[in-house]
Structure 1
Amino acid sequence: MDELRKTAGRITFPALLLVMLVIQIFPIIWVLISSFKTIDEFRIGSNPFALPKSLYFGNYINAIVKSDLLLYFKNSLIVVVFVLLGILILSSMAGFALEKLRFRGRKAGLLFFLFGIMVPIQVTLIPLYQIYREIDILDTYTSIILPQIGFGLPVSVYLFVSFYKYVPNEVMESAVMDGATMYRLFISIVMPMSANILVTVATLFGVFAWNEFIFPFTFLNSKDMLTVTLGLRDYVGNYGMTDWGATFSAIMLTVTPTFVVYFLLSKSIISGMTAGAVKS
């Protein structure tokens, strides 16, 4: 009986993992396959799960020609760069101060950041819209960069605090005894030791910023400022008619950069997420 249970356990767990993997990967594969179908293959009555009769690359050409996709890529890239700069600089410094510096209100400061995790984004949209309208920054990069930095800080600060717990104090004490200032200590000693957590936070929030929809949809109006997530609406024509081939091709072009970045940096991401889990 025990042997039967062990055998069932060895079979069940991999089977569940396989099912979860299929659920995760199938939509991506379906979009990729659909991006090579011709217009006729999207007609009503055709099998949406059928393989394309041939690889029709014209959809990718149409995706670029019918929409200002390159402009949207540029806008998204600008937003991602400045969001990451703000999150990495502020959260790394805040995490270091909250964990390694001893000052009154340190624990309250950490709780203040963690409280931000519990604030839903949706409840802030109307107040932010009114504030941005009053200070005249609607329809600008600033209007979508600032809230993403603000909502990204709670989690990123927590990750840095957790990492800095296991940075040896002896190393920093030696640097201070050698005459290093606090800023020199942070830049020359702590930051090089934080490479994995920096990559983790950058990748995590870079993907979030690239795929962000609600803030651009709320605060942007002009076509020249749209990001890639909003640009996908360009393929919806009159009376809701959609060029599905171009749409699926644009989706693949949009998500490919995030896949590439994640797979290239996956080892560093895992190391950063598990840093501090076990004290070395």
Structure 2
Amino acid sequence: MNTTQSTRMLTTSGSRRQRLRVPRRRSVNRFRRLPLWIAVTVLLIVVGYPLIWLLLGSFKSQREFLEEPTWALPQQWSFENYATAWDTAGLGSALFNSTITVVPALFCMLLFGTAAAFALEVLVWKGRGAVLMIFLAGIMVPAQMILLPLFSAYFQTGLTGSLWPLFLTYTATGMPLTVFLMATYFRAIPREVFEAATLDGASIYRQFFSVAVPMMKNGLFTVGLVQFFFFWNDLLISLTFANSSKLRTLQVALLNFNGNFGTTQYGPLFAAVSINVFALLIIYLLLNQSIQKGLTAGAVKG
């Protein structure tokens, strides 16, 4: 036997051993991942079961709620409960009030908050650290503390009886967190970007709208969605300033849902809650990628 043949035999035996080791490693890795998959499955069941139960319940009749088991499927799949919730309970007008209040407040809050963060982090001027601390202190002020003074101010200025108090309160209460988060994103941008724009002759407004805002796109999506969920699901502020039937937002309408029917109508109630929950869930799923990018945008400087 020559040297070449012995080398081939050693190589062949070594490759066979490697082939035997690969399945063993894969089986070991699968066994190690088994607890993780079990935990993920349990978590999905815990989170998904209430959503499925809510969706199925929105198609059931009142008799099925009272006589059938809770896990039973609807006997008839119809959108009658959704139509009842939309028309009879005034869900359509409540949804309209929430939209025309939250969306403009969100736009103004993002515009002014991003501009304030740009001035605090990019521009150099005395006292910017103290101003930033004032905004940070606003995060720690509870909403319950400012409701009575705000209601008194709105009453004296004649704004009560309209949706203006909600718009102004949402814009003001969302500013501290928006300034804090957007300032964090601005810290991650190299200063050389704005210095180069200054050398090219760009004004402050041009740097803000043409340089800063496009780079903050993912951050704006993240902050905007967080604040949108907070404003949309708000009950305390909207119940204080918009409690009349014409000014009710979606959450206040859901709170007064039972009163509209006299008794608890579970089918229309589940349908109304499903409209609220699944609409927000769809919005989150559509913007999921932008949110993930925005959450990691300010993590690393540069």
TM-score (norm. length: structure 2): 0.84
Distance 1:14 1:132, change over 3 A: farther
Please list the CA deviations of residues 63-122 of structure 1 after superposition, one character each: whole Å capped at 9, or x if unmatched: 122122221111111112111112101110111111111111111111111112211112
Q: Select which of 112, 122, 125 maps to 1:103.
A: 125
1:30 matched residue in structure 2 = 53
In structure 1, runs of 5+ residues without a counterpart are 1-5
Q: Distance in 2 between matches of 1:112 and 1:51?
A: 54
Contact 1:79–1:209, Cα closer than 8 Å, also in 2: no
State the Cα distance separating 1:36 from its structure 2 match.
0.8
Counterpart code for 2:48: I
Q: Distance in 1 between matches of 2:58 and 2:240?
A: 29
Contact 1:83–1:209, Cα closer than 8 Å, also in 2: no
Please list the CA deviations of residues 226-245 of structure 1 after superposition, one character each: whole Å capped at 9, or x if unmatched: 11111124531479511110
Q: Distance in 1 between matches of 2:231 and 2:65?
A: 32
SS in 1 for 2:48: helix
2:202 matched residue in structure 1 = 180
Which has the larger displacement, 233-242 or 113-122? Answer: 233-242
State the Cα distance separating 1:13 from its structure 2 match.
4.0
Output aligned runs, 1:70-89, within 5 Å: 70-89=92-111
Contact 1:113–1:157, Cα closer than 8 Å, also in 2: yes
Distance 1:148 1:179, change over 3 A: same
Contact 1:66–1:234, Cα closer than 8 Å, also in 2: no
State the Cα distance separating 1:7 from its structure 2 match.
8.5
Which has the larger displacement, 262-271 or 108-117? Answer: 108-117
In structure 2, runs of 5+ residues without a counterpart are 1-28
Distance 1:123 1:7, change over 3 A: farther
Which has the larger displacement, 49-58 or 81-90? Answer: 49-58
Counterpart code for 1:154: P
Output aligned runs, 1:1-280, within 5 Å: 10-43=33-66, 46-237=68-259, 240-280=262-302
Question: Who wins on radius of gyration, i.e. which is larger?
Answer: 2
SS in 2 for 1:223: coil
SS in 2 for 1:225: coil
State the Cα distance separating 1:197 from its structure 2 match.
0.7
Q: Distance in 2 between matches of 1:23 and 1:113?
A: 38
SS in 2 for 1:201: helix
SS in 1 for 2:298: coil
Contact 1:132–1:143, Cα closer than 8 Å, also in 2: yes
Which has the larger displacement, 20-29 or 147-156? Answer: 20-29
State the Cα distance separating 1:140 from its structure 2 match.
1.8
In the alignment of these two chains, the number of paired residues is 275
Counterpart code for 1:206: F
Please list the CA deviations of residues 7-36 of structure 1 after superposition, one character each: whole Å capped at 9, or x if unmatched: 887444443444333333332222111101
SS in 1 for 2:75: coil
Counterpart code for 2:87: V
Which has the larger displacement, 62-71 or 177-186? Answer: 62-71
Q: Distance in 2 between matches of 1:92 and 1:15?
A: 43
Task: Supply the RMSD in Å over aligned alpha carbons.
Answer: 2.2
- Identical counterparts, % of pairs: 37
